[in-house]
Structure 1
Amino acid sequence: MFSFEKVKIWFSIFFRSYLYHQVFWLLALAGYVFFTQDERLFVNYLDLLTKDDVYGNTVLLSFFVATFFTLLDAVFIGWIVRKLPIHIIAFFRHVMYLALALLIIFLSANENLTFEQLQDYEIYMKNMPELGIRSLRFTLWFYFSCILSTMVRGLLRKIGLANVLQWLMGTLNKPRAEKRVFMFVDMRSSVTIAEKLQHKKFSYLVQDVFNDLAVVENYGGAIYQYLGDGAIISWSLRKGLRNNNCIKAFFAFQKVIRRNRFWYKKRYGLVPEFKAGLHVGDIMVLQVGRLKRDISYNGDTLNTTARIESMCNEYKQDLLISGVLYESLPHITKYKTKEVGNLKLKGKSRGVQVYQVKPAD
């Protein structure tokens, strides 16, 4: 179903994908020219620049390659991919890598062909240059660059650009203190739903709701971890408090689910509901693991957030926040709030002030 939030999600994903591919392929193609001194490969097929302008042609080629891979990403994140076996998807990707490398070689050797000629598939077999050592070198380089791009993209998605930069500089080896906002969000009655849908269909439901959960990125949030049918979302202190972003994100997620309720009802026979807990506090950011490394947030703030979320069922609320966060939010009066009380949370020796929050409308 159409919604402004969904459009923002799609545009944000598409823009970041294009920006990543543009930077990566500009560096990769420029690196190829620098190390091989092979300037003949980068002719300008569109005649927008002169052939002698190898750097201008490199920029232009990186634009087309980045656009192609961005569109390819848009296809592979769609629901159609779920209907294909994973080995078919992997095979298709690798075939596309090689095909694109050969297409670049073909256009480099046949820059004078017209668009009408290119529509005849036989022209590719007739005019394909002989694949000597120069073409083989570029094909192998391009293929392994595609694989490297996939690996780097996966790393950025998993731990974020800021953490990658700090990891490269080695600053994550030593734990550092940071103040952040956290939200634990969880599906209501997930055990009952899983029993009703069975594990395969329930897994598709979890996939769908997590796709809708991407709306939190419209409000500066980053999904830190997925926990079964729930997730942990994190904000820097500035982004989380600004314009009540951490509160808006949860209600925006609920709104996306409601807008898609007919689709969920038709596909799964139900509309999933969610509850969440929010808290702000100090945590430690560190790199953990020796063989399988990861970026971890540790501290009592996470434990408290989880305990606040667990109280939603008892008080029949969708969203509960800590008193510390309540006092920190600059525009909390825009929402309907009510003090729940000083609650004794499991594992906590001291009580925590908790508030319920509802949309103003």
Structure 2
Amino acid sequence: MNNNSTIIFFAKVVGFSFLIGPLIALFSGNVVTDWQRVLLSGVSGAMIGSGCVLLEYFAFSNRSIRWLREIPLIMVVGLRAIAYSIIIVGGLVLPSLLFLGTRLWLDPDFFFSFWVSIGVATGLSMSGELFQLLGKEAALAVFTGRYRRPRIEQRIIMFADLTGSTALAEKLGDLRFHELLGDVAYDLEKPIVTTGGETHRYVGDAIIITWSMDKAENFERCLLCAKAMVQALEDKASGYIARYGQSMRMRIAIHCGPVAAGEIGAWKKEISLLGDTMNTTARIESAARRFESDIVVSDAIRRELPNELKSRFVGLPDFAAHGKKDALRLWAL
């Protein structure tokens, strides 16, 4: 998220939590009859909600904290439960103690409010984990049943993969190379999220990212994402050299068109994107490798861009892609 998005999200959480506080008090059997009680319940909810969000933002969802990425998930869950408990107890007790002098922990209904709050916070946390695992768009689609039956969607597709990764994998070994890919994915996360991209899948050393074609600005956003991804790896070059012995570079191909989107699998589900658009994007990535270009787009992408952006592209020789009847007209940024 960029700074503005983060602030807006935080404000929404605080507002939502402020409203939830009086509802929990109502369900616990405490009929809220005056504005003072309503306000205190709201302040409690806001303190709990904001505390949990800050905890997630600066700690549990902060992938720059390497040791949190390396310990078992059960330990992360345990640490989160302890931290949530401390925040919730503070949020329930402090407002009443400071403003009314009431020792709320002596109230018979205190533990009901505590466990309800723990349940709400844990549910939101697990939803966040699910969103991180599947991606926000895919998670919402699974819950709503959007892709229970395949459907045709108009998508911008980006294939981005590391250059020279095969030799590097042999040099580092499987475990170290896997660690490298984790670091690269972390460094590329901000450009993807900031430009509204959806990470569809990691395939070895490649990332597939999509945007909807419904919004005209997404054509410019996908280019901003591509340039920011390349720049992100350049900015981190010294760190990669120190840790893995060389800097990282990406090769990026972008195309657009119809794709068949739908759920695949029974016990383990995923949203699959199929069709000629996906295959063509893979061919464009091969062309980028042949022409030694960092960012290559199809003519279909360039046509949708503003004129000032079109002028920044250089035409490449027509590329006769395997399995394609007509040669591809491509452009390098």
Residue aligning to 1:120:
none
Distance 1:211-1:36 versus aligned 2 partners, 3 A rule: same
Residue aligning to 2:236:
260
1:140 Cα offset (Å): 1.9
Partner amino acid, structure 2, of 1:340: P
Unmatched tracts of structure 1, length 5 or more: 1-8, 44-49, 115-126
> Structure 2 matches for 1:1-361, cutoff 5 A?
9=1, 11=3, 14-15=6-7, 18=10, 21-22=13-14, 25-26=17-18, 28-38=20-30, 51-52=36-37, 54=38, 56-73=39-56, 74-76=58-60, 77-82=62-67, 85-86=71-72, 87-107=74-94, 109-112=96-99, 129-130=105-106, 132=108, 134-159=109-134, 167-214=142-189, 215-239=191-215, 242=218, 244-331=220-307, 332-345=309-322, 348-358=323-333
- Kept in 2, the 8 Å contact 1:21–1:69? The answer is no
Indicate the percent of aligned positions where both proteins have the same amino acid.
22
TM-score by length of 2: 0.83
Distance 1:303-1:19 versus aligned 2 partners, 3 A rule: farther
What's the CA shift string for 1:154-207, capped at 9, x where partnerless?
333455555555555444323322111000000111122122233333333222
Secondary structure, aligned partner of 2:267: coil
Residue aligning to 1:118:
none
- Kept in 2, the 8 Å contact 1:264–1:271? The answer is yes
Aligned-residue Cα RMSD (Å) equals 3.1
Distance 1:82-1:13 versus aligned 2 partners, 3 A rule: farther
Distance 1:16-1:247 versus aligned 2 partners, 3 A rule: same
C-alpha separation between the residues in 2 aligned to 1:324 and 1:243?
A: 10
What's the CA shift string for 1:333-356, capped at 9, x where partnerless?
2313113204223xx241341313
- Kept in 2, the 8 Å contact 1:279–1:324? The answer is yes
1:32 Cα offset (Å): 2.1
Secondary structure, aligned partner of 2:316: strand
1:252 Cα offset (Å): 1.4
What's the CA shift string for 1:86-133, capped at 9, x where partnerless?
34433221111222232234325523489xxxxxxxxxxxx673374x
1:313 Cα offset (Å): 2.1
C-alpha separation between the residues in 2 aligned to 1:257 and 1:178?
A: 31
1:234 Cα offset (Å): 0.5
Distance 1:178-1:100 versus aligned 2 partners, 3 A rule: same
C-alpha separation between the residues in 1 aligned to 2:216 and 2:158?
A: 10
C-alpha separation between the residues in 2 aligned to 1:88 and 1:159?
A: 21
C-alpha separation between the residues in 2 aligned to 1:210 and 1:13?
A: 21
C-alpha separation between the residues in 2 aligned to 1:112 and 1:12?
A: 33
Partner amino acid, structure 1, of 2:43: L
| Paired residues, number | 326
- Kept in 2, the 8 Å contact 1:344–1:352? The answer is yes
1:18 Cα offset (Å): 2.6
C-alpha separation between the residues in 2 aligned to 1:82 and 1:166?
A: 32
1:235 Cα offset (Å): 0.8
- Kept in 1, the 8 Å contact 2:158–2:208? The answer is yes
C-alpha separation between the residues in 1 aligned to 2:318 and 2:154?
A: 24
Distance 1:309-1:199 versus aligned 2 partners, 3 A rule: same
Partner amino acid, structure 2, of 1:335: R
Unmatched tracts of structure 2, length 5 or more: none
1:220 Cα offset (Å): 2.6
- Kept in 1, the 8 Å contact 2:18–2:43? The answer is no
Partner amino acid, structure 1, of 2:237: R
Distance 1:217-1:98 versus aligned 2 partners, 3 A rule: closer
1:19 Cα offset (Å): 5.5
- Kept in 2, the 8 Å contact 1:239–1:245? The answer is no
Distance 1:350-1:15 versus aligned 2 partners, 3 A rule: farther
- Kept in 2, the 8 Å contact 1:280–1:325? The answer is yes
